[in-house]
Chains A and B, each alone.
Chain A
Amino acid sequence: MNKIELSILFLIGLPFFAFALSLIIPSKKENLLSRLSFISLGLQLVVSILFVAIWWWTGAEKINLKEFTVFKSEHYEFYIDFMFDRISAVFLLVGAYLTFLITLYSRYYLHRETGYKRFFNTLLFFYSGYNLIILSGNFETLFIGWEILGWSSFLLIAFYRTRYLPVKNAVKIYSIYRIGDVGLLLAMWMTHHLWHENINFMRLSQSELVISHLQEASWLGLFISLAILLSALAKSAQLPFCSWLPRAMEGPTPSSAIFYGSLAINMGVFLLLRTMPFWEHQWIVRILIGLMGLLTAIVAEMTARVQSSVKSQIAYSSISQIGLIFIELSFGFEILALIHFAGNAFLRTYQLLVSPSVVSYLIREQFYLPSAKLSLKKTNSRLQNTLYILSLKEWKVDEWLFKSLWRPMKWVGKQLRFVAIRHALYLFIPLYLFLASLLLFKNQIPYPIVNNLPTILGLIGLLAVFKAIYERKSAFFSWMLIVFNHFWVLLAISFNDEFNLTDSLVFLSGVIPSGLLGYWILRRLANRENGISLSSFQGHVYEHPVMALAFLFACLGLSGFPISPTFIGEDLIFSHIKPNEIGLAIIIALSFVLDGIAIVRIYARIFLGPHSKNYHSKAIRSS
């Protein structure tokens, strides 16, 4: 191992190490927790600065490190890979600087807050994921960080977990993040086929190689780019996903400042920067990126102007700036985009941190304003009024998203009302076993059937998740359906390609234990509390924090979070889908994504939100 490799590993490992340590510090030890964060992030900042300085001094060459292989079979390899170039350098420095300052800030700001430990845990977890993303050298490594970011965002938005709105918004934002994940999953799938290997970003930046591949299969390239763009739009709150950003401002102000003001919100920008060598040869993609950026900048700017709360105003202003960064990217101005990113990140962080001061400052300013100036001009024209209402309604983007995305799924779920637990148990399990046994005679099945079987099986799995998401009462049923879905997906893939026992075991080795653990916890809780239901938020974390934590682990495992082998399994599954089977790929990607949403929904409804009991003080729903 050379010094460079050591430094990069140190930069990535340190936050993870601090995170792990922070988990075992007792929650009463405020000082120890904050000191741990302060020292580790301080050290990280110093090392980052030194590292970047030396790297710059010695020629600023791109570095690629193939670290180690996690899983390998004859046609597939999952390996961890890191990369360092000026994009990583800028994101590293900005991230390290801001996170360090926020840690220091939060040491005092969060003093005595219930959840002090949870806050620092999540902050360190988030930062570990952030580092992994910006230093990742291939899609797989990036995806690990991506998942960490998703969950830590969920946990930070729902930091005030006993209130309704934070929990509701956390679920909502997690759902949008999952849409971003579909994009990334599909992009990963298609790149495997385009390059016939798990390509790293270093090779992706060799333009002759990219051009030659794109000439071979230009539509594959377009598909990949669009999938990446979808992911970037969702993560960076661009149209049509704008409205999640202001709603993410539910946690303590410093966490909002760093996550949604500066770092997390720029991950879409990072993804585009990282994959720029790939899509910059595709004019249509560049035009699309520029257009989405322009549209977002205009819409977000108008929306920002009518906001009468400080944080939503800052959020929309930030979105419009990121829209401009997208435009800069589409023109290929990489350095400008990097400067713009850094400036915007610093500015928004600071603005959010001083946002409570706005009352005394603006009231004073207004107090000293001549009274004539107070009554501002009226907006009278019809067009202006229309735009005003439109902006007040956030350009109805949410409404549109709801109508076009969630409502159809809800509709399907509603049509499945008749399906009950007994159907699942007595009808689908035997059916599943029967179909699985057919695998043995796969060669004897007529071709048209075997050809369409994977799609049909995938669809059955997908329907199970729909049902899981819209199940109103039984958490057990919903949970079971999610586990079910994984089995159907596996069956679909087994019919699609050669059945492979190792791959199947890898995939199921995460699903089965997590499924059982989750089921057991739900049972235990239901026994203690005389039943649980999905019909409303019940906030059982108030009385059962340990169960809530254990269930969270089950959720992570089942949703294919990188602590469970299912994470690699998901990638493996995709390697069995051929590039011409886009339908199947989309069905399975959707399955995974919706699984995640259904899982989070169960966790949130059972364990988070206002507690179902009245013997202690709790917030009203609207607060």
Chain B
Amino acid sequence: MNSSKMEKPFDLKDCLHQLAHYLPSQSPLKDFIHHNSLHAFQDNDFFSGLFKASRLFGYQSFLAINEFRRKYNTGAIRQDILERVIAENEGKEKVAYWKELILHSPVEDRPHALIGALRSEWKNTYFIDLDSAVYPLLFRLLNAYLDQGIALWKFPKEGGFLNSLRQLEQNSQLSIFQTKQARARFLDPSIGITQLLEKIVGRESLFEQYLFDQQFAHPGWSGMIATLEDKPQSLLDRSPIALEELILLELHLEWDALDALLYGDWHSLGNIISPPPPLNFETQEFTLEEKCLRYAQLALEWSFYDQVLAAFSKSPSTKGGKSKEISFQALFCIDDRECSLRRNLESQDPLCQTFGTPGFFNMAFYFQPEGTENNTKVCPAPMHPPYLIKELGSNKKKKKDLHLSRRMQSIHNSTLMSQTMGFWSAIKLFFNLFKPSISPATSSSFNHMSHNSELSIDASNPPQFENNLQLGFSLEEQLDRLEGQLRSIGLIDDFAPLVYFVAHGASSVNNPYYAAYDCGACSGRPGSVNARVISHIANKTEVRQLLAKRGIHIPDSTRFVGALHDTTQDDIVFYDAQSLPPALMEKHLKNVHTFEVALDFNAKERSRRLELVNSKKSAAEIHKKLRLRAVSLFEPRPELNHATNALCVVAPRNKSLDIFLDRRAFLNSYEPELDVDGSALASILNAATPVCGGINLEYYFSRVDNHKLGAGSKLPHNVMGLIGVANGIDGDLRTGLPIQMIEIHDPLRLMMIVYAKKEKIDAVLAANPKTADWYQKEWTLLSSIDPETQEVFTYSKGDWHLYNPLFEIKEHDAFESLFEKSPENLPVYKIKK
């Protein structure tokens, strides 16, 4: 939309496309999936994109300079790194000058963003508040139409939003509009957006800018509509809607409000004002202030990466030393929350072996629990697998809570209730405060699938289909998936007697963001079904026989067991373990004990970030306290989720085994020597880059601008139509993460550390341009550790540079006492064994 483009006639289709591109793309709450909040700017390199976004939309795209200064003063930004960053960019001789500028120049106010300038002329010219006249009704209509089950009296839907609204308007004594003319205009379907703009804006060259101003004044609702237009299936109660319909209605309402507020005495905006500066989407030279922010950001990031790379460059090569007997093997999700559990397991039982892989375990399907006709996707969001797995024989009963049922809100019921159940509420509240326990209000990971149910995993021959989904997997399909899983992490021999697939999920109460706490690789659901499915497949004799033909020999004595780790409560459940033979059962029980102790310590480690928990108590005591968080109504931080994530390590576990990464790393297992052609690496990077990058950037932006790109505090949130949250009842939908999820997060870009030769990585990137784009434009960073020389290379603008760390890594062994002392980010340590 540069000046040359402005001369072109208004193209509605193109404009709608542009709008949908720039609006936030957050799905309804039940499908909350992390993504880059500024995905629209990803065709720029990171810094240019962020500064552009900031100029256009007024986002704070970095920490405020004062926060950087505070971090410098506490040592989180290291002096040597800051000086190196300046020297690299501005030359050695200018270090002092820039340092002074970054650390001491006075903070200046910034000019207003370009967005909104045009539409604000209504207020400047006519002294009216158009927004307050339009939004309450507009949001209310949208919410009523899209509502998934809060209102008792539903919006009368008749195919499409505007169509329903016109039907309603036509068959009613009362209009939604204030003036008769507005009603007549609305009912005339031949009046389109362009005609309305001609009256309201008047000047064609301003149409696009006006629509941008209009839609970005309530990005939450506009973004939700654009997303639903794209993914109508994310509503259980289908409500087809399009961004175009929203804009049309909003323009009708604006015209109506202008007529009502100004008694018809107004002129098209474009004809009475001198146009404000246009929305300039061109990339511009960095200003002095922007350069300062850039160096400060780089210094903050490298102050940490430098430690990590120092640790990896010193860690031994992975060759040799596989002689010891392995007690058990456990596969975890790459999720950063499993990083510490794995470390704790390994320290409890040094003979065990852990692996990291995306938590759907290469099993992509839809899951249909017993008692419903609906199913839910349990694999990464971009996948659309044609498979369905059903739960059978669970015979579970859902408990009800009348306080949450909407039937409670009607007058006769609530009269009865307030006279009777009201007093019951008083008692319930008392107990929930003094003795929190699980209730129907809790969203528990263990309820995702019933513990004692059966799963329909094996497809019949010929396969059956339901809703175009194949019921179960055929033998061949099972084999492919299992083989792919085992090869990608290099687990192809040396199988332990027991191999655990440990999925994860989370439990919380009073938490509309519950889906964001579950497994990202399972579309915001717990991965328990996936873990059970792959274990079942791996235990099948015919699968193993066929697998042997493909070169992977699983001994008969080895059994696979699925499990679910609840990351909030740090509890674990094992599935189908009762069928283990007695000899293995004994080993299994020993392992269960190991897991339990490790989980206690994991809870203690987590507790150091939680101010209200006394980390000095014993691990078991702290664990008890943390369990309560998941069921306490008053706890806005059931867990801290991905906060502090900063790294993704694609390497054999041996390589990172003795490095303390403080729950900050996604860990994906990878054996470079088994992956000669780089195909395993390609699939790992293709999957991990957008997922981990998306999580990382959503945390980044919610942290740096919690008001515009995050959801603000969750304490005043009000649930709208079960699809989103807003502040109060008239507010716009909030996107991004609430402050309670990101307050301790340091906004660092994700550093992907790959244990492979740089040439191999280059080849993978060349073959996968979409993935490569993330690294070339530096929205995530990349480094390579050469498996032969252990040299570290960093990737920048398509080139590799040998990296010389400045940090002197220290050894540490008394981690428990460290956890008791510090709630802050810890440095990277070598773990003394």
Q: Which residues of A contact B150 (CB under 8 A)?
A: 307-310, 313, 358, 362
Q: Which residues of A contact B728 (CB under 8 A)?
A: 165-166, 169, 247, 249-250, 311
State how many angstroms separate the Cβ of B7 from the closest Cβ of chain A.
30
State how many angstroms separate the Cβ of B151 from the closest Cβ of chain A.
4
A321 to B174, CA, bound (A): 27
Please pick, from B217, B236, B369, B403, the residue contacting A620 in the complex, using a CB distance under 8 A. B217
Q: Is B398 an interface residue (CB 8 A)?
A: yes
A 237-260 to B, binary, CB cutoff 8 A, 1 in contact else 0: 000000000110111111010000
For chain B, the bracket of interface size reads: 35 or more
Q: Which residues of B contact A105 (CB under 8 A)?
A: 433, 633-634
Say which one of B541-549, B559-567, B711-719, B812-820 lies at the interface with A. Answer: B711-719
B 715-739 to A, binary, CB cutoff 8 A, 1 in contact else 0: 1111111100011111110100000
A613 to B762, CA, bound (A): 46
A 370-385 to B, binary, CB cutoff 8 A, 1 in contact else 0: 1100111011111101
State how many angstroms separate the Cβ of B431 from the closest Cβ of chain A.
11
Say which one of B85-93, B275-283, B404-412 lies at the interface with A. Answer: B404-412
Q: Is B555 an interface residue (CB 8 A)?
A: no
Given A304-B409, A366-B149, A355 contacting B718 (CB threshold 8 A): yes
A246 to B718, CA, bound (A): 11
State how many angstroms separate the Cβ of B640 from the closest Cβ of chain A.
12
CB–CB A614/B111 < 8 A:
yes
CB–CB B29/A109 < 8 A:
no
Q: Is B415 an interface residue (CB 8 A)?
A: yes
Q: Is B490 an interface residue (CB 8 A)?
A: no
Chain B interface mostly = loop
CB–CB B403/A249 < 8 A:
no
Closest B residue by C-beta to A110: B715
A314 to B58, CA, bound (A): 36
Given A357-B404, A389-B174, A378 contacting B715 (CB threshold 8 A): no
In the complex, which residues 330-375 of chain A have their Cβ closer than 8 Å to any Cβ of chain B? Answer: 339-340, 342-351, 353-371, 374-375
In the complex, which residues 386-435 of chain B have their Cβ closer than 8 Å to any Cβ of chain A? Answer: 398, 401, 403-406, 408-411, 414-415, 417-423, 425-426, 428-430, 433
Q: Is B137 an interface residue (CB 8 A)?
A: yes
A382 to B171, CA, bound (A): 5
A339 to B423, CA, bound (A): 10
Q: Which residues of A contact B149 (CB under 8 A)?
A: 362-363, 365-366
CB–CB A324/B415 < 8 A:
yes
State how many angstroms separate the Cβ of A158 from the closest Cβ of chain B.
11
Q: Is B673 an interface residue (CB 8 A)?
A: no
Say which one of A390-398, A436-444, A517-525 lies at the interface with B. Answer: A390-398
In the complex, which residues 598-623 of chain A have their Cβ closer than 8 Å to any Cβ of chain B? Answer: 613-623
Q: Is B371 an interface residue (CB 8 A)?
A: yes
CB–CB B414/A623 < 8 A:
no
Q: Is A576 an interface residue (CB 8 A)?
A: no
Q: Is A542 an interface residue (CB 8 A)?
A: no
Say which one of B71-79, B298-306, B661-669, B700-708 lies at the interface with A. Answer: B700-708
Which of A112, A313, A359 neighbours the largest number of chain B CB atoms within 10 Å of its CB? A359
CB–CB B425/A247 < 8 A:
no
Chain A interface mostly = helix
CB–CB B151/A613 < 8 A:
no
Please pick, from A97, A353, A363, the residue contacting B722 in the complex, using a CB distance under 8 A. A363
CB–CB A368/B732 < 8 A:
no
Q: Which residues of B contact A376 (CB under 8 A)?
A: 154
Q: Which residues of B contact A214 (CB under 8 A)?
A: none
Given A385-B171, A617-B706, A350 contacting B144 (CB threshold 8 A): no
Q: Is B264 an interface residue (CB 8 A)?
A: no
CB–CB B718/A249 < 8 A:
yes
Given A305-B410, A357-B441, A388 contacting B374 (CB threshold 8 A): no
Closest A residue by C-beta to B514: A360
Q: Which residues of B contact A247 (CB under 8 A)?
A: 728-730
Given A313-B409, A619-B707, A160 contacting B716 (CB threshold 8 A): yes
Q: Which residues of B contact A324 (CB under 8 A)?
A: 411, 415
Given A617-B706, A622-B135, A309 contacting B726 (CB threshold 8 A): yes
State how many angstroms separate the Cβ of B510 from the closest Cβ of chain A.
4
A98 to B732, CA, bound (A): 31
State how many angstroms separate the Cβ of B586 from the closest Cβ of chain A.
39
A 80-124 to B, binary, CB cutoff 8 A, 1 in contact else 0: 000000000000000001100100111111111100000000000
Extra 16 A-B pairs, beta carbons < 8 Å, given A110-B715, A313-B150, A346-B426: A105-B634, A301-B410, A309-B726, A311-B719, A343-B420, A343-B422, A345-B422, A346-B422, A347-B417, A347-B422, A360-B514, A361-B401, A365-B149, A367-B372, A385-B173, A388-B172
Measured CB to CB, the residues of A under 8 A from B are 97-98, 101, 104-113, 159-160, 163, 165-166, 168-169, 246-247, 249-254, 256, 297, 301, 304-315, 317, 320-321, 324, 339-340, 342-351, 353-371, 374-376, 378-383, 385-386, 388-393, 472, 613-623
A-B contact list, 22 entries, CB within 8 Å: A108-B632, A165-B728, A166-B728, A308-B143, A309-B150, A310-B150, A312-B729, A314-B409, A346-B425, A346-B426, A347-B403, A347-B422, A351-B403, A354-B403, A359-B719, A361-B404, A363-B148, A366-B237, A367-B376, A382-B173, A393-B174, A617-B706
Measured CB to CB, the residues of B under 8 A from A are 29-30, 58, 60, 64, 107-113, 127, 131-132, 135, 137, 140-141, 143-144, 146-158, 168, 171-176, 217-220, 236-237, 369, 371-374, 376, 398, 401, 403-406, 408-411, 414-415, 417-423, 425-426, 428-430, 433, 440-443, 509-512, 514, 611-612, 632-637, 704-708, 712-722, 726-732, 734, 740, 743
User: Top 10 nearest A-B pairs by Cβ distance?
Assistant: A343-B422, A350-B425, A308-B147, A360-B443, A357-B441, A385-B172, A347-B422, A252-B715, A346-B426, A619-B707
